[in-house]
Chain A
Amino acid sequence: MQFQRPNTRKEPSQGMLAILFSAPAVLIIAATILAPFCIAVFLSLHNWNLKRPGRERFVGLENYIDWLTDSDFWEPLRTTFTFAILAVVVIVLLSLLISLLLNEKFPGRGILRALLLVPWAIPSVVNALLWKWLLNPQYGLVNAVLFELGIITEYQNVLGSMPSVMIWLVIAYSWIHIPLATLLLLSGLQTIPGDIYESAIVDGANIWGRFRYITLPLLRPMLSIVIIFEMIFALKVFDIIFVLTAGGPADATNVLGWQIYTETFRKLDFGAGSSIAMLLGAITLALAILFYAILDRGAER
């Protein structure tokens, strides 16, 4: 008779396994998010200009105070909010309309839903380049169409003055952001049970009544997510500005994202650039929390 050797190896505990399995993700997050964030905080508290090596020094909150007392912060902040509010309103309203349409049953709905994803699949810089061609004042398709329709009598440089530059930036930006918002809202609409609508119809509710008292309240959680997400995206807009206007004309589209880029990578002042980036991060976070609280309170009611 043979005796089996007892297994002396100790099985790892549940807690240890959890740590082991989550370790790679934690490491990646630490390396790609936490470390750069900490470095940015560190830089924001220093005078750190790459053009002046050897003169780096700790300045505490001086960079932040400088920005908060400088119109070079408040003007771009105002432009950022103007852009973000316009963009979020356009995106949310159009996404809501499209998602309501795509939630209905009609022939070709599947194809339309698939087509909806096309703009979303285009990289944002490519989208910006595409709009740059479309809006070109000499040979752009938008000018050609408006001219042929008799809406304009001569080709316009819509990116050359306010308010047209802001309007077209919002349109170009919204075009690529609407698909994701629509998709999220559509998924929210599909969770609303059909029998609620049937009961409402029996009770004599019209289409507006059904939207106002059923769709909107039940869609509110998803709507909150879309508004918060889109507001965050819009506040940190950069790529479309980089390609289409470079912050111009006359700083009319100089948003905070562009200001950060200018300070950091053009002026090479990493201290100033990091501190303004921190301020933008704080503003975005505060707004996200505020929106969430407002929308969550509304949902509870």
Chain B
Amino acid sequence: MHRSKTLFLLLSIMILLVGGGAFAQDDGLKLTGWPYEVDVVTENLGRFTDQSGHDAVFLPFPSNEYHDKMVASFVAGTEFDVAYVRDSYLAEWASAGWILPITGLPGADELLADLPAGIIEQMSYDGEVYGLPYYSGVQTMAYNAAHLEAAGIEAPPETWSEMLEQAQMIKEAGVVEYPILMQLRSGENYLLREWETLTASRGGKLFDDDFNPLFHLEGSAAWQALDWLTEGLDAGVIDPASLTDDDGTLLMAAGTTSFMTTTDYTLKAMNDPEQSNAAGSIKNALIPGANEVRSGTWGYVRLYAITNNAEDKDAAWQLVQFLGGKDATGVYFVPKRWALEFGLGFSPAPLYEDEEVRNSISGWIDPDLLSEQSEYAISRPYRFVPFFSDWEIGSWGPLQAAILGDADKGEVLNDLAEEWNELKEDWGY
């Protein structure tokens, strides 16, 4: 009898656990992403629930592990309905069938009509659009105006060699030890992006439009960019922490860095007195150029996409429209909120005309300079081939070695070009 009771108890617990798990699966739409302003996301989802009647929860993964955790989730079949996607791995996820195209879905054309062609291109793979933008923008330059003033410099640099000269002056004036911070760490958000900026601003690209490497050609803009980094590190004006640090924004906010290239929205935090010692001194400038070339840069987009595992795909599409497009009242509620309260870049054309948005931005960034900067943005179609991330991962170590002078630049670049060509052939491009 006693044994039966124990068995019954165990079975009951198991049923409760399994049942609980089943009920837990049924708590509405699941949005996943990286944990930026979780409370705000949750509030936004509350508004979505009020308007649509669909419950929705936000279940984020740490930003630097997001890609890996999501891949594991996709493979395991975890039922997220909507996910944040970085354009850098859009092709990978789309080609694997983990996210679904929105082309042709009800209302999609109307929302896409409000977006610039460049943004649509960055959200596309193989002719299909895979979501609506969470935020977007361009890489720009941030500088500490107080540092320049203290070193007797009147205006930010217009060329990269001028930047090295100004940095030397700042260092010699004892303002900071290492005036320039470049993001050269291994990782998706660092080294390659910095190299692309330095290359674009010299009028070059890493690959041509047929995905053939250009970076290994002697004297190419990409090659010059690596030479410039080596020169800056050797001169002691580029912070050696550039190779290891994962958040340059903090150093800029701490007032220990004079120049860095950064995504436009980070200037809001850098100029927020509650988050930054250097608030008010951080200005945006056009990214320096070289000779005749002026300020080349690149744009980026983060998007909301419907996952292949979404149980109710219609409801998931409603959520994507609410987050990246218009809410039930017909306004770009979520994109506008991100822009007003957090300075995140936006893409829908109507928001550019919104007086409230324009006034808000000008408090921490020069919108005219930012607008000019975005005119110099180049497209990077090579990023949207599915083998790009494989090549990128393998490039970090050799590129760092070339920058540090531990390996011959020519050999490294030729090897990387060869690896790219092998991958290209293997994938049938």
Contacts and interface: CB of A to CB of B under 8 A. Distances in A.
Interface of A: 50-51, 53, 136-139, 154-155, 157, 159-161, 244-251, 254, 262, 265-269
A53 B96 contact: yes
Give the interface SS of chain A, mostly helix, strand, loop or mixed.
loop
Given A249-B400, A251-B401, A51 B386 contact: yes
Contacts of A50: 71, 75, 96
Interface of B: 67-68, 71-72, 75, 92, 95-97, 177, 185-187, 239-241, 243-245, 251, 254, 256, 386-387, 389-390, 393, 396-398, 400-401, 404, 406-407
Contacts of A137: 239-241, 244-245
A268 B93 CA distance: 11
Nearest to A264: B68
A268 B387 CA distance: 11
> In this complex, which of A160, A250, A268 has the most chain B Cβ atoms within 10 angstroms of its Cβ?
A250
Contacts of A268: 71, 92
A27 B245 CA distance: 45
Nearest to A261: B68
Contacts of B240: 137, 157, 160-161
Contacts of A251: 396-398, 400-401
A247 B92 CA distance: 23
27 contacts: A51-B387, A137-B244, A138-B241, A138-B251, A139-B254, A155-B177, A157-B243, A159-B243, A159-B244, A160-B240, A160-B243, A160-B244, A161-B404, A244-B244, A246-B186, A246-B187, A248-B243, A248-B400, A249-B400, A250-B397, A250-B400, A250-B404, A250-B406, A251-B400, A254-B397, A265-B72, A267-B390
B407 A265 contact: no
A12 to B, nearest CB: 14
A248 B71 contact: no
A246 B185 contact: yes
B180 to A, nearest CB: 14
Nearest to B74: A50
Nearest to B256: A138
A262 B185 CA distance: 15
Contact of A266 (B177, B185, B256, B389): B389
A136 B243 CA distance: 12
Nearest to B188: A266
A247 B397 contact: yes
Shortest beta-carbon contacts, A-B, top 4: A251-B397, A250-B401, A157-B240, A250-B400
B71 A245 contact: no
Given A248-B396, A250-B400, 9 more contacts: A137-B241, A138-B254, A138-B256, A155-B177, A245-B244, A247-B396, A266-B393, A268-B92, A269-B390
Contacts of A51: 92, 95-96, 386-387, 390
B293 to A, nearest CB: 29
B387 to A, nearest CB: 8
Given A246-B187, A248-B185, A250-B397, A157 B68 contact: no
Contacts of A244: 244
B303 to A, nearest CB: 19
Contacts of A254: 397
A137 B241 CA distance: 6
B397 to A, nearest CB: 3
A137 B177 CA distance: 11
A266 B390 CA distance: 8
B397 A248 contact: yes
B97 A53 contact: yes
B185 to A, nearest CB: 7
A154 B244 contact: no
A51 to B, nearest CB: 6
A290 to B, nearest CB: 31
B244 A266 contact: no
A247 B393 CA distance: 11
Nearest to A54: B97
B241 A160 contact: yes
B402 to A, nearest CB: 8
Contacts of B390: 51, 267, 269
Contacts of B185: 246, 248
Contact of B398 (A53, A154, A250): A250
